[in-house]
Structures are given as C-alpha cells and as structure tokens.
C-alpha cells in the first residue's frame, strides 16, 4: 500500500481529485434542480429591474405623492430617471393657450412637492407641466414621446359612490399607454 502511494504522481493526484469533485458537483446539481419560476413572473421581475425611466403623473394630493415615493423605491436600485408631470386640462370651450395662472401655479406647487420626494432618494428627475384637453391622452403621449418604461399612478383609496374606481384619466392612460402601468391604491379605510 505504501509502495502504491509512493508511485502516485502529485500532479496526477490533483487531477484525479479535481475530477472527483467535479463529478460530485455535477451529480449534486442534477439532483437539486432550481425551483421553477413561471415565465410571466420571471418576465415581470426582469421588467422591474430594466426600468430606466418612470413617468409619475401628480395632482399634488397625498395618493399621487405615494405614487412618486413608489416610483423612487422601484427605480432606486437601477438609478432610474423620474419624470414628474402635471397636466392642466383646458376645457374645449376655451383656447388651449388661454392664460390660467391659478391652475399653472397649482401645477407648479404639486411638481415642487413631488420633486422634493425624488430629491430625498437622489434620483435624476424632470418636471413636465403641460396643457391638454384630456390629461390621460397627454400623459400617454408624454410616455410615448419620451420612451418611458413605466407609468406609476397613485389613485384614491376611496372613490365616491358614483365614481368609477379608476376615473377617466386613469382609464385613458390604461387604454393608450405604450408601456407598463402600475397602479397604487391603498386599501379602503387606510389614511392617504
């Protein structure tokens, strides 16, 4: 036995050991396959990490600002750019360029509050104040023109009894959005 050990070349011993360890590793891997992840779940996980530009419409209310916070948290790992938008809806009975200083001031204040949330997370951002006949169509157009990866909508937790849950603007965004739309709604009774 001692003669047999003396006859083993050290390099041959290392190669044999490497072969045995590799064989055991392959057998272990074959007996322990990874858990199956449904294709839709894997795609959703990939899409969240691939998001580089997130559009967040705001109206300056707490539920909309929750949407800004959610966008920051989803985009923080990949350093996503946050596009904050406020759309001033101009009735069809008025010219689109008519002065609306109160509405624009309200929009600028809402955008400033949203910017302060994004600044806390240190993410790049843009403010977009637009005028349009329908806010939903304008938000979908901004998403298309600026190649947005995701729109995040914060919606009321308790719509009125006669209101649709999503509302007109959210419904139009869902119908015309060129990208993924994520809706954030608190459970009924939760404080906004």
On whether residue 148 sits in a domain, the answer given is yes
Number of domains forming the structure of the chain: 1
- Residues of the chain with pLDDT > 90, as a percent, come to 59
Of residues 51, 128, 131, 56, the one with CA closest to residue 88: 131
E strands of 32-141, at which residues? 53-57, 81-89, 125-132
Q: End-to-end CA distance of the chain, in Å? A: 80
Render pLDDT for 73-121 as a digit per residue (tens, 0 to 9): 999 999 999 999 999 999 999 998 899 999 999 999 999 999 999 999 9
Render pLDDT for 126-159 as a digit per residue (tens, 0 to 9): 999 999 999 999 999 999 999 999 999 988 877 6
On whether residue 83 sits in a domain, the answer given is yes
| Non-local CB neighbours of 59 within 8 Å, separated by 6+ positions | 86, 110
On whether residue 126 sits in a domain, the answer given is yes
On whether residue 2 sits in a domain, the answer given is no
Q: Which residue range(s) make up the domain with 88?
A: 44-185
On whether residue 24 sits in a domain, the answer given is no
| Residues constituting the chain | 192
Q: What is the pTM of this model?
A: 0.75
CATH number at residue 179: 3.40.50.620
On whether residue 86 sits in a domain, the answer given is yes
**In what helix (H) or strand (E) does residue 181 lie, and over which residues does it extend?**
strand 180-185
């Amino acid at each position: 036995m001692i003669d047999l050990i003396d006859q083993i070349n050290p390099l041959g011993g290392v190669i044999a050991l490497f072969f045995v360890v590799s064989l055991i590793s392959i057998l272990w891997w074959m007996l322990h396959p990874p858990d199956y992840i449904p294709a839709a779940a894997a795609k959703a996980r990939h899409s969240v990490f691939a998001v580089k530009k997130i559009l967040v419409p705001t109206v300056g209310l707490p539920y909309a600002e929750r949407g800004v916070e959610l966008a920051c948290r989803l985009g923080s790992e990949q350093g996503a750019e946050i596009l904050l938008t406020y759309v001033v809806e101009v009735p069809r009975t008025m010219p689109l360029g008519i002065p609306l200083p109160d509405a624009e001031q309200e929009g600028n204040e809402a955008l400033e509050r949203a910017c302060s949330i994004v600044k806390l997370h240190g993410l790049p951002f843009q403010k977009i104040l637009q005028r349009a006949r329908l806010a939903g169509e304008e938000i979908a157009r901004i998403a298309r023109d600026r190649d947005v990866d995701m729109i995040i909508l914060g919606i009321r937790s308790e719509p009125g009894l006669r209101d649709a849950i999503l509302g007109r603007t959210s419904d139009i965004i869902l119908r015309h959005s060129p990208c993924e739309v994520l809706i954030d709604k608190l459970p009924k009774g939760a404080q906004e």
